């Protein structure tokens, strides 16, 4: 297992120095020991409290007063690594109403159960609908893991810890006849209460339990699937020195052995009876506690939201004790960049969550608060005008221009030749399918040439109270001067006769700050120019 962490730190110093820092924006509060954040395919977020409660935050950030589920009487939440630890909604939840929970029962054992939502209230579960899916005996109180996730294949993945104590004294993680210290994969849509997927990697091998997808995990506290690639990312909590991040490509086929207890991260731990390091699947990276306040990795998600493009494709994770956040993204050469993107001392980050749009959230355990991950790099779609051409940014996957709210036919590139004045907007889509819209832009064109005008200028721009129009005509010309707002409504009109070089002042009166058009009308045609009225 080749160690990547030191190499990454040395090779990617420039990336570290230019890291896109994240911010944590408080989204909701008032929770007791929140340990999981999950969406059900709609705008709601479901917050799991370790004691055995599930609460709902609506799309506006309001915490619903009615509990979604309360199974506190069935949950053993003491000591602090026990409790209701994980929640996952069935991929077809909108139709079947099934969701799954992972909790420690009153005997101290792990239970994975299915519940159903109420048939009359989408914000309340049926507490009497429990169907036991799997039970795993726990020899100790710690290392219960507890996460659940449906893969893109529709199967339920269950990460189990090694059974606890310290150093895996029973070597359960390496025991192929024990479900502890493994990643399990089951089919909950067939069988009673489940069946084994035919392509599980050890099916047909009598030496390995059929449920096992991967071996050699210590305590995979949080893991997730990249919603775009299907890759599986795991934050596996270390023993006392090393925390690790593991990644399993979507096309791996499973069967990996991640090395615990032989190795803690890339470092040898207890190699008695172990194969050589090259026989195990090494982590993407590991990080050391020494010299830091690190203590326990909290695995996160690959960001696939739209609000912060600089984060797209970055796997975001954190350390529970230090409150430091990092991101991992491909370096383009088959390796990985790893960079610190935020530090929030004292923030005990217990879990990450993803909303229906791919935006990321975290929970602070002791304070009971939910935060949304943000950055300062929001998208801005800027439009510029040169002559009668409007131009937007390059590099997007698709474009659509609009004039006064209506799509312009065949205007599907980053620039457009305009033939009439009006309010233009531009919609663009990036490679990830995220849609961004520009602010309104008032584009102006010379509607038709007025041949008798050799020159026509306006000053000052922006103006406060008075606009001065400077003319140079080659023949006497009768003009109607109009001031129009961006909806095209005439708010000022004046008729003048121009001969030679003349200046004409107009005073539109008390009008709001904003964008307007000065339009000249004559028997020969019309001209329009954009002006800006500044505030007082």
Q: Which has the minimum average pLDDT: 11-15, 123-127, 255-259? A: 11-15
Mean pLDDT, range 284-297, rounded to an integer: 93
- pLDDT at position 380 is 84
Summarised one tens digit per residue, pLDDT across range 294-313 is 999 999 999 999 989 889 99
Bigger pLDDT: 219 or 18?
219
176 upstream amide cis, omega within 30 of 0: no
CB-CB neighbours of 240 under 10 Å: 10
- DSSP, collapsed to helix, strand or coil, labels residue 11 as helix
pLDDT of residue 20: 46
Average pLDDT score, the chain:
92
Whether 12 has a pLDDT exceeding 80, the answer reads: no
Of the chain, the percentage scoring pLDDT greater than 70 comes to 96
Q: Which DSSP string corresponds to 108-150?
A: S-EEEEEEEE-SS-TT-EEEEEEEEEEEE--SSSS-----EEE
CB neighbourhood size of 26 (10 A): 12
Between the CA of residue 217 and those of 171, 280, 413, 534, what are the distances in Å?
Answer: 11, 11, 50, 64
pLDDT value at residue 447: 55
Domain 5-374 sits in CATH at 2.120.10.30
- In this prediction, residues 261-289 reach a mean pLDDT of 96
Q: What mean pLDDT do residues 439-444 have?
A: 86
pTM passes above 0.75: yes
3-state secondary structure of 535: coil
Task: Tokens for 28, please give them.
Answer: 């909701």
Whole-number Å distance between alpha carbons of 482 and 480: 6
> Comparing 360 with 436, which gets the higher pLDDT?
360
Q: Given a cut of 50, is residue 18 above it in pLDDT?
A: no
- Is residue 345's pLDDT more than 60? yes
What distance in Å separates the CA atoms of residue 316 and residue 9, rounded to the nearest whole number?
A: 17
Q: What does the block give as tokens for 99?
A: 């969701």
Q: What is the mean pLDDT of residues 1-23?
A: 41
**Residue spans per domain, the chain:** 5-374, 384-443, 453-533
Domain 453-533 belongs to what topology?
A: Immunoglobulin-like (2.60.40)
**Does pLDDT of 147 surpass 50?**
yes
Looking at residue 9, what is its pLDDT? 32
| Residues facing residue 369 across a β-bridge | 364
- Residues contacting residue 515 through CB under 8 Å, at least 6 positions apart: 442, 486, 530, 531, 532, 533
pLDDT tens-digit series, residues 385-397:
888 899 999 999 9
- Percent of the chain scoring above 90 in pLDDT: 80
150, 187 contact by CB (below 8 A): no
**The pLDDT of residue 446:** 61
Supply 367's token pair: 């304070």
Band of residue 378 on the pLDDT scale cut at 50, 70, 90: confident
Give the pLDDT confidence of 156-201 residue by residue, as tens digits. 999 999 999 999 999 999 999 999 999 999 999 999 999 999 999 9
Tokens encoding 378: 């929001």
Residue with tokens 């069988």: 191
CA atoms of 30 and 47, how far apart (whole Å): 11
pLDDT interval class at 536 (50, 70, 90): low
- By residue count, the chain amounts to 536
pLDDT of residue 199: 98
Token pair of 154, please? 């529709």
The pLDDT of 144-153, averaged and rounded, is 98
pLDDT score for 19? 43
Position 517 confidence tier, pLDDT thresholds 50, 70, 90: confident
pLDDT exceeds 70 at position 3? no
Count CA within 13 A, CB hemisphere, residue 495: 3
Q: Dihedrals φ, ψ of 165, to 5°?
A: 65, -145
What is the token pair recorded at 306? 């739209």
Mean pLDDT of 471-490: 89
**C-alpha distance from residue 365 to each of 28, 493, 502 (Å):** 13, 65, 73
Asked if residue 460 has a cis previous peptide bond (ω within 30° of 0), the answer is yes
Distance CA 236, CA 283 (A): 9
SS (H, E, C) 436-494: EECCCEEECCCCCCCCCEEEEEEECCCECCCEEEEEEECCCEEEEEEEEECCCCEEEEE
Select the more confidently predicted residue: 488 or 99: 99
Task: For 94, list phi and psi in degrees, rounded to 5.
Answer: -60, -25
Higher pLDDT, 263 or 521: 263
What is the tens place of the pLDDT at every residue in 20-78? Answer: 499 999 999 999 999 999 999 999 999 999 999 999 999 889 999 999 999 999 999 99
> Strand 477-485's sheet: what is its strand order?
490-498, 477-485, 514-522, 525-533
């Amino acid at each position: 297992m080749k160690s990547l962490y030191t190499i990454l730190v040395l090779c990617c110093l420039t990336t570290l120095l230019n890291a896109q820092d994240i911010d944590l924006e408080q989204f909701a509060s008032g929770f007791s020991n929140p340990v999981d954040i999950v969406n059900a395919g709609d705008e709601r977020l479901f917050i799991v409290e370790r004691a055995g409660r599930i609460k709902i935050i609506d799309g506006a950030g309001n915490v619903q007063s009615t509990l979604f589920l309360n199974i506190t009487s069935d949950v053993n939440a003491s000591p602090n690594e026990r409790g209701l630890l994980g929640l996952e909604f069935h991929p077809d939840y909108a139709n079947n109403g099934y969701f799954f929970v992972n909790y420690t029962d009153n005997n101290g054992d792990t239970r994975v159960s299915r519940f159903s939502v109420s048939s009359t209230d989408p914000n309340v579960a049926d507490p009497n609908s429990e169907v036991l899916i799997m039970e795993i005996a726990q020899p100790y109180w710690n290392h219960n893991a507890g996460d659940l996730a449906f893969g893109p294949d529709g199967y339920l993945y269950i990460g189990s810890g090694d059974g606890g104590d310290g150093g895996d004294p029973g070597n359960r993680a390496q025991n192929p006849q024990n479900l502890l210290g493994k990643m399990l994969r089951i089919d909950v849509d067939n069988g009673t209460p489940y069946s084994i997927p035919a392509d599980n990697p050890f099916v047909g091998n009598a030496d390995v339990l059929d449920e096992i997808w991967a071996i050699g995990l210590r305590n995979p506290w949080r893991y997730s699937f990249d919603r775009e690639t299907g890759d599986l990312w795991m934050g596996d909590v270390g023993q006392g020195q090393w925390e690790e991040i593991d990644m399993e490509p979507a096309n791996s086929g499973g069967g990996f052995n991640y090395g615990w207890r032989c190795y803690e991260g890339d470092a040898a731990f207890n190699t008695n009876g172990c194969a050589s390091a090259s026989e195990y699947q090494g982590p993407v990276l590991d990080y050391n506690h020494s010299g830091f306040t690190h203590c326990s990795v909290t695995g996160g998600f690959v960001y696939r939201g739209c609000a912060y493009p600089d984060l797209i494709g970055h796997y975001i994770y954190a350390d529970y004790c230090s409150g430091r956040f990092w991101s991992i993204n491909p370096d383009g050469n088959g390796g990985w960049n790893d960079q610190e993107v935020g530090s929030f001392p004292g923030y005990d980050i217990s879990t990450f969550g993803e909303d229906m749009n791919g935006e990321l959230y975290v929970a602070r355990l002791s304070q009971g608060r939910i935060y949304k991950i943000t950055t300062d790099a929001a998208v801005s779609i800027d439009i510029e005008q040169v002559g009668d051409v409007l131009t937007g940014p390059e590099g997007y996957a698709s474009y659509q221009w609009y004039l006064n709210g209506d799509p312009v036919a065949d205007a599907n590139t980053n620039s457009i030749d305009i033939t009439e004045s009006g309010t233009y907007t531009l919609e663009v889509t990036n490679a990830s399918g995220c849609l961004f819209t520009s602010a309104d832009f008032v584009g102006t064109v010379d509607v038709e040439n007025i041949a008798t005008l050799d020159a026509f200028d306006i000053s000052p721009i922006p103006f406060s109270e008075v606009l001065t129009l400077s003319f140079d005509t080659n023949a006497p010309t009768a003009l109607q001067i109009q001031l129009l707002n961006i909806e095209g409504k005439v708010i000022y009109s004046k008729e003048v006769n121009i001969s030679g070089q003349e200046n004409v002042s107009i005073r539109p009166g008390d009008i709001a700050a904003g964008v307007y058009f000065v339009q000249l009308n004559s028997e020969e045609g019309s001209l329009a120019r954009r002006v800006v009225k500044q505030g007082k």
